[in-house]
Structure formats: structure tokens, C-alpha cells
Amino acid sequence: MPQVMEFKLPDLGEGLTEAEIVRWLVAVGDVVAIDQPVVEVETAKAMVEVPCPYGGVVTARFGEEGTELPVGAPLITVAVGAASLPQAPAAQAAEAEGAGNVPRPLIGYGEDHSRPARRRRVRPVTAAVSAPVVVAPGAPGAPVAPAVPVAPAVVAGPVPVISPLVRKLAKDGGVDLRALTGSGPEGLILRADVEAALAALRAPEPAPVAAAAPAVAARGERIPLKGVRGAVAEKLSRSRREIPDATCWVDADATELMAARAAMNAVGGPKISVLALLARICTAALARYPELNSTVDLAAKEIVRLPSVHLGFAAQTERGLVVPVVRDAQHRNPESLSAEFARLTELARAGKLAPADLTGGTFTLNNYGVFGVDGSTPIINHPEAAMLGVGRIIDKPWVHEGQLAVRKVVQLSLTFDHRVCDGGTAGGFLRYVADCVESPAVLLRSL
């Protein structure tokens, strides 16, 4: 008799309390191996594939795509043991019998998130999952009434939909799934897509209007403030509520910095980015002005100066703005910084950043010049104390050595928490950064 194990949504770390189901990677009746990803979820910080610690046959799934579940809620149940598996191949049954009864710790969080999702599909084992026993939450091993699992959908034609409930909703409402374009991954049709189609079918016919009368929108589009967008909104709102910030800025001649970068890249080896050079300048400036690498402990009424520079940088992705963090940036040279920026940016665009990659920053570098703008007044990334903003580097008239010349000019802006320092410290930091940009030799002399 197979043992039915219930796998619950694990604590994904960093204080996260819920996650939204984006895509199921297994169906009822599938055989799963230990540590195989079974569902892709979205937290307030990242997209995460959740591996199951049990090996066996999936007997039930809980929650549809788009459903938000709290940590500790059931995700799937798995029938563990050789009796629950197909007889062929024998090696697969032996593997599940030998290892499936022992739950293993989840792996993969904070490690290699760039690997492709592993999928393993077999034909449903109807005899083994016709009436699975579900373990009641809070009473491990105690059987309750048999649960009716969600049967695997049989797709007739190339209709990108997985959920049986979505199919039933469409069928009951008279919606032709073949006429819909899904908003989920790879065009997957979600419940929200069917509900939108049903709402359109039920909407009353608009009253005829005169040709000359302007069209008036009845209502605006409502977009849920959740996921990454919700997390960003909460953090920025908290920053404005708690931090008395101020901003100072200066124009700098970046001609010598760009020439130095060109010379470094001309000798071969890994290419060094402008962002990496600016990051190296920031870490040197923070060593001189450690007040800006700090945070405020309101409960203790103390300023906490931090020993390491964990440098955040703003990265725009399809899911919105994220701020990956380069750990111990003060110990990295420009080559190492360039490589780490590239690695984290690639993970961010693929939606594979772990929560740990997005937290723990002590200072943020924001290169908004990539959007073609010169200046900004950045909002501090709470609970940090400062952020350096960098505009575009553009040819402008500039007085150089007493003569008017065309030089590469950039605007630098520093937003800082006025509780940790006064304008003299903030101005000193920004002036040092500008001096290093204008004359990279200043940085070399300070090392």
C-alpha cells in the first residue's frame, strides 16, 4: 500500500509569506523524482521553481494558475512506494522504492537558478490514483475522506490550456478556447483570460451614439498591485514615509573615464563596462565616507554603519524594475564587477533571480542614463541610506583647460538620508565621485 505524502508550499526565505502559482510543471498521474521541480511560483521578489522532496506518483494538485497561496498551504500529494509506480521501466520503480520513502531537504534556493526546468511526463496511472488518500494538514499520517484529483486534461488540437477548471469554465460559459489568446507563459490560457471573455459576452450592447459624439471610456483598466510591482510600490512608499531624504547633483566631464575604459578594453580580456568603473569609484568613495553605507535602526534610535558594501544596481526587466545585489563589492576589481553585473542581469531578465539575490543591499547605483535622460531625483532603496544616480554620457560644450571644447559630460545625483549625515558629507562624497570620473588617476592615487 503506497504512502501518500503531502508537500506544502515551503518558506522561500527573506520573510516571504505567500506566492502565486504561475505554471504547473507536473500533472496528476505523473511520476516525479526527488527534487524535481513541480511548480513555478512568483513571489514578491522573483520567479522560483519549487522542487518536491518526495519521489512517486502525483495524486492531487492544489490551486490553479493565478492562485495565491500562503506558505504552508498544500501544493501536491505524492503516492510514495513501488506499488504506486508503473512496472516499466523497472529501474524507475526501483529508484522510487529505494529513495522515495525518505523525504529530503529542498535544494536549489540561492544556488544555480539558470538551469532549464526538468519535465518528466508519463501516462497517468489510473489504477493507483483513482481514490488517493490525502493527509490532513496538522495531522501527519491521518487519512481523511478521499479527494478527487484533478484529472489530466486531454487537449484536442493546439489549444494552450492545462487547467481542467479553466476548460470547464469555458465550456459552461460557451467560450471557444481556440479563439482566445492566452496571457500566461508561452500563450497558456489562464482562468483570467476565460473570465474576461465571459465578461465580454455578457456585456450589454452599447447604445448607438451620433457620429459626431466623442467616444467616452466607461471604466479604466485595473491592474493588480502585486508581485514585483506590489513589492516595489511598498518599498518606495515606505522609503518616502520613513526617510527624510535630500538630493544634490553635479555635472562631470567623463571624457577621461571613457578614454581609460577604451584603453583597458583594448588590451584584450573580458570587457569592462562603464557601470563597473562607476561601481569601483562608489566603493572607494564609501570607504572615505562610510556614513552613506549605513542604515537607521528606528527601534534602537541608532545609526548602524555597515562593514561591507553590498552594491545594488537597478535593472529593468519585462516583470518590472528589480535591484540585484553584488556582495562584497569593495573587494572586487572592475573585471570582477563587470562579470557579476552581467551574470545578475542575465538572471534578472530570465526571471531566475533568487530572493537572496535581491536583498541585503547597503548602497544602490542607478544608471538611468540608459533610458536617454540626463537627471533624476532617485528614491532611496529602503532601508539603505543613499543612492547614486547616473545620467547619460553625452557630448556637450565644456570649458576644458581654459578653452571651450566638446567633451563627454554626465550628470551625477546623490539622494541621501539626512539622518545619517549632513550636506557636507554628502557633498564630499559626490565631489569625490565626480573627481574620479573627471580624472581616473584620482582613484588610483587613493588605492
Q: Which residues are catalytic, by number?
A: 418
DSSP assigned state of 9: P
Pairing of strands 315-317, 294-297: unpaired
DSSP code string of 109-164: TTS---SPPP-------HHHHSSPPPBPTTSTT-B-SPP-PPPPP---SS-----H
Determine whether 51 is exposed, middle or buried from the number of CB atoms within 10 Å of its CB (0-12, 13-18, 19+): buried
Q: How many residues make up the chain in this entry?
A: 447
Handedness of CA 315, 319, 321, 322 (dihedral sign): negative
Q: How far apart are CA 317 and CA 339, in angstroms?
A: 19
Phi, psi dihedrals of residue 21, rounded to the nearest 5°:
-70, 120
Paired with 99 in beta bridges are none
Residue with cell 506544502: 8
Decide if 101 contacts 81 (C-beta within 8 A): yes
Q: Is the link from the previous residue into 89 a cis peptide, with omega within 30 of 0?
A: yes
Decide if 12 contacts 73 (C-beta within 8 A): no
